[in-house]
Every structure is written in C-alpha cells, then in structure tokens.
Amino acid sequence: MEKLSDNTQTTFEDIRRNYLGICENIARSGREVRIMAVTKTVSFERINYALDLGVSLLGENRVQEYLDKRENYKPAEVHFIGGLQTNKVKYIIDKVSMIHSVDSMRLAEEINRRAAQHGIIMDILTEINIGEEQTKGGITADSAGEFCAEVDELPNIRLRGLMTIPPAGCSESVFAKMQELFEHLKVENAHNRENAMFDTLSMGMSGDYETAIKYGATIVRIGSGLFGYRKYL
C-alpha cells in the first residue's frame, strides 16, 4: 500500500480557493448537491482545514488509512467509498454512516450481519460498473435491478441509491444512462419497500463532477480538485 502523503504542493490557501470554486460551480448549476471531500493520502491537518471551510462529508477508501487517521479528525460525517473486502467490514461498520461500494451479495450480507450485531441499519449504495470496464468493480446496469431488489431484502441494510465511476473521458451519454438507471430503480425501490429512501446518486469526481451534476448526481466525490494531486510516497 502507498504511504500517506500530505499533498505538500497544495497550500491551505489553495484548498480554500478550490473549495470556493467548487461551491460556485454547484451554485451555478442550481442543483442540490453535496460535496464529499475524498481524503485518501491527505493529512488530517488538511482534512480538518476543509471541515473548517464548511465541508460536511468525508469519503474514505482505505480501511487501514482511515483507522489510523480518524482519531485526529474533527467530528464529521464519513462515508466509505473504496473497494471493501468482506473481512474488513467489521472494522468500519460502526465508524461510517454509508458504504458506497457494495457490489456483491456476499459483501451486502456481511454488512447486514455486522450491522445487526451493532443494532444499526447501514445505509448503502450499489456500485454500478456503468462502462462495463474489466478493471472496475460494480454491478452491470443489466443486473442492477435484480441485485438491488435482493439487497433490499436484508433487514439491517437500507439501500439509498447508486454509486458509479464512469470511464475516464467517456461521453455524456454514459452519465445519461446512469441517470436513467437511477430514476428507473428509484421507482422500483419505492414499490419494493415501504419507507423507501432511494435518493442518492454518487457520481462525479474532480474531472467530471460538472457533467455528473447535469445528469442528476446528488453527491460528488472530490479529491485532487480540492486537496491537490495525490503524491504517493
């Protein structure tokens, strides 16, 4: 695993400027979108600075890195967004409020089991491999309906929506396809379950968040566009 870097080329002033720029772009879009600050390789000082600026949601994608850093964080809402091995669920189940990267029944069942042990209901998103890329995790758009319905049966899980990482540089039609899938499954989900709350589309990163917002993203996950390029030591 890469060691932590503190994105040392980026100053606090840069982070402030980046954050205000992102806020401005979102305001201009006129949509309700939540900014998630993606914190992999970023030092806790910089993370705390972002929280002071008004960021209210952090995204972690490495279990060990999160466990090492979290003691130093100011209070914040944290979602897990990275690939999650089944045997690591127990370490984060009570330390995050949503898991964005659910892409197998085995993982969903383990989250359900651990959530039950803690007496909680865990919010999750189904990760969709919208570009059907070999190198990426996620459920294909074609099997998403069946998968979501099955996940929804698990009593200690609440399916809140979908997450995706579109292929780099892909055309807008891929985002449009994702939006369509999201809207379709939202209707299905409302039929499947009382108190359904299928309201979250986690889509868009530093390079494509404005396109993602245009196609209905409700959470954009921003790392380098906020904290500067990650430097792996």
Ligand X SMILES: *Cc1c(COP(=O)(O)O)cnc(C)c1O
Per CB under 6 A, residues contacting ligand X are 38, 40, 61, 81-82, 165, 205-207, 221-225
CB of 180 to ligand X, least distance (A): 21
Residue nearest to ligand X (CB): 223
CB of 129 to ligand X, least distance (A): 13
| C-alpha to C-alpha distance for 232 and 145, rounded to whole angstroms | 38
193-224 in b/e form (b: 16+ CB < 10 A) is: eeebebebbbbbbbebbebbbebbbbbbbbbb
Q: What three-state secondary structure class fits 128? A: strand
CB of 41 to ligand X, least distance (A): 9
Measure the CA dihedral 213/211/137/105, to 10°.
Answer: 30
CB of 91 to ligand X, least distance (A): 18
Q: What three-state secondary structure class fits 53? A: helix
Nearer to ligand X, 51 or 222 (CB): 222
